[in-house]
Amino acid sequence: MTTTEDRAGGLQDLEEDLRPLPASGRNARISGQFWIWAGANIAPINWVLGALGVTMGLGLWDTMTVLVLGNLVGMAVFGFFVLLGQRTGATGMVIGRAVFGRRGNYLPTAVQAIVVVGWCAVNTWIVLDLVVALLGKLGILDPHAGNTAVKIVVAALVMAVQVAVSLAGYRAIAAFERWTVPPTLAVLALMSVFAWFFLHIDWGYAGPAGGALTGTARISAMSIVMTAIGIGWGITWFTYAGDYARFVSPTASRRKLYGASVAGQIIPVVWLGLLGATLATKNGSVDPGQLIVENYGGLAIPVLLLVLHGPVATNVLNIYSFSMAAQTLDIRAGRRPLTVAVGAVALVACVFFILQDDIAGVLDAWLAGLVGWVAPWAAIVLVHYGVIERKVTSFDHLFDAVGSRRLPDVRWRAILAFAVGVVFTWLFMDGSVGALRGPLSLRLHGIDLSWLAGALSAGAVYALLAAADGRQWVRRRESAAALAHPGSAAAERLQA
């Protein structure tokens, strides 16, 4: 039988505006979730972040431990947000309407929209120097020249491909990832074999000679890496999960969906992180991107393809998720024009980065500060749907217009819990600039527990202050449903 996903135009039309997807539009393959999340993480930024521990003075095995354990925890929680998207049939930001209120949800949604634009720009920009260096290895240009025009042209071409794939919608994104990720993994495997068996990696690397970290300094560095690419990396994907899992049938195996999505995240993140960390042991002060160029001269063409694939595979999700977030803000525009608009804005930002001499540190600090909101948001959403609305099975109210009697307008208690979580995130954060170094982290000698403090505080405050209010709204919706449909499940629950 032909599904909606297999018909060229059907699903694309359903995606143009935010609306509940009919059952016929929720037949995406579970395996497609693996390829989507794997493709999103086969990006050079992950080997750069993987080298972070080594460049900070940690040993190789300390870095590996943080990478593996952190991602196991962070991605395990990510899987629950995938299941929430399947359960509700709603995007990552629409699910917040029952939590923060129909208009109260504008706050976290606006932050999400800004974050995805920033990531789209930085993911495109971060590979440009590496592309120029690889083209230099091929003798196409002089890698030591400025090459500003070349970078702008490459950025424009990459952005055009990203926008084109996103314009076609979920079906095209799933197909792009399904067909491009396997050969990209093959290139990554070739790079790994070459690095780990022929580049004389120092597998016993314990830190720079005479400067290996010990005691509190070691724990502090491990906590920062945990926030950057351990648990923290999984947290940054929570808000995206529902945008893609909503296409999976609610009757599909939750266990298989969970396993495919989590595996799609963990495998490339840990793999690329370990590759970056091991390469960094050759010289702890060398940028891992340049290190790859220096060591893969004979593989310049396949490595170049992997590098160019990375931002495209990641940013098609960023661009698509931006259009979903923008529509959740009740911006009256279709998905396609929003897709073109965000591509143009991200390209302008990318060109701005190209023209700067040293933007990396400021950009990293800005993004770190922005993504710090996800941990408290996630804790609140998990408490709401895991406790307050645990037995709710119908979620069409999430798509109601402003003024709906089935949704609160602004749930101030939820927003207060969110604000408390953001404050506690900052208090325990050890960022790269002074404004992002919280006083409690300083008292802990630089140990970064921001994600944990933000999640626990926000979740606890929400459970204490907003749970009763949330249950009242659930009962109100069930009462209205029972009056409209006397024999429904809502009526039976109300009678019970």
> What pLDDT does 33 receive?
95
Task: Yes or no: say if 414 and 466 are a contact pair by the CB < 8 Å rule.
Answer: yes
pLDDT tens digits along 27-42 = 888 999 999 999 999 8
User: Quick check: is 229 in a domain?
Assistant: yes
pLDDT bracket for residue 22 (50, 70, 90) = confident
Task: Yes or no: say if 338 and 326 are a contact pair by the CB < 8 Å rule.
Answer: yes
Average pLDDT over residues 275-295: 69
pLDDT bracket for residue 306 (50, 70, 90) = confident
Which of the given ranges, 114-128, 177-191, 430-444, has the highest pLDDT on average?
A: 177-191
Query: Could you give the CA distance from residue 344 to residue 295 in angstroms, rounded to a whole number?
Result: 35
Chain centre to alpha carbon of residue 404: 31
Q: Is the pLDDT of residue 230 over 90?
A: no
Q: Is the pLDDT of residue 147 over 50?
A: yes
Q: Which residue has the higher pLDDT, 56 or 203?
A: 203
pLDDT bracket for residue 6 (50, 70, 90) = very low
> What pLDDT does 487 receive?
52
pLDDT tens digits along 335-349 = 899 999 999 999 998
Q: Is the pLDDT of residue 481 over 80?
A: no
pLDDT tens digits along 244-261 = 999 999 999 999 999 999
Question: What are the CB-based long-range contacts (under 8 Å, 24+) for 325-334?
Answer: 325/91, 325/93, 325/109, 325/112, 325/113, 325/116, 326/113, 327/17, 327/18, 328/18, 328/91, 328/93, 328/94, 328/97, 328/105, 328/109, 329/106, 329/109, 329/110, 329/113, 330/402, 334/16, 334/17
> What pLDDT does 494 receive?
45
Between 127-136, 240-249, 435-444, the lowest mean confidence (pLDDT) is in 127-136
94 phi and psi angles, rounded to 5 deg: -65, -35
User: Quick check: is 465 in a domain?
Assistant: no
**Which residue has tokens 């449903």?**
481
Q: Is the pLDDT of residue 362 over 60?
A: no
Cβ neighbours of residue 333 closer than 8 Å, sequence gap 6 or more: 326, 327, 341
User: Quick check: is 449 in a domain?
Assistant: no
User: Quick check: is 445 in a domain?
Assistant: no
User: Quick check: is 367 in a domain?
Assistant: no
> What pLDDT does 286 receive?
46
Average pLDDT over residues 353-369: 61
pLDDT bracket for residue 9 (50, 70, 90) = very low
Q: Is the pLDDT of residue 51 over 50?
A: yes
Q: Is the pLDDT of residue 239 over 90?
A: yes
For the chain, the average pLDDT equals 84
Q: Is the pLDDT of residue 285 over 90?
A: no
pLDDT tens digits along 370-418 = 657 899 999 999 999 999 998 888 899 999 999 988 999 999 999 999 9
Task: Yes or no: say if 313 and 185 are a contact pair by the CB < 8 Å rule.
Answer: no
Q: What percent of the chain has pLDDT over 70?
A: 86
User: Quick check: is 21 in a domain?
Assistant: yes
Q: Is the pLDDT of residue 292 over 50?
A: yes
Chain centre to alpha carbon of residue 470: 28
> What pLDDT does 98 receive?
94
Find the domain containing 345 and state its range: 4-358
Q: Is the pLDDT of residue 4 over 50?
A: no
Average pLDDT over residues 7-11: 47
pLDDT tens digits along 84-119 = 999 999 999 999 999 999 999 999 999 999 888 888
Task: Yes or no: say if 453 and 424 are a contact pair by the CB < 8 Å rule.
Answer: yes
Write out the two tokens for 337. Answer: 């024009």
Based on the structure, what is the number of domains in the chain? Answer: 1
Q: Is the pLDDT of residue 359 over 70?
A: no
User: Quick check: is 293 in a domain?
Assistant: yes
Write out the two tokens for 393. Answer: 């099975």
Between 44-48, 171-175, 318-322, 419-423, the lowest mean confidence (pLDDT) is in 44-48
Average pLDDT over residues 64-85: 92
Average pLDDT over residues 467-481: 77
Residue 332, exposed/middle/buried by CB under 10 A (0-12, 13-18, 19+)?
exposed
Q: Is the pLDDT of residue 66 over 70?
A: yes
User: Quick check: is 107 in a domain?
Assistant: yes
pLDDT bracket for residue 232 (50, 70, 90) = confident
Between 59-63, 344-348, 473-477, the lowest mean confidence (pLDDT) is in 473-477
pLDDT tens digits along 129-146 = 778 877 877 778 877 777
Q: Kindly report the CATH number assigned to the domain that includes residue 342.
A: 1.10.4160.10
Average pLDDT over residues 441-447: 85
**Which residue has tokens 């929400």?**
462
pLDDT bracket for residue 489 (50, 70, 90) = low
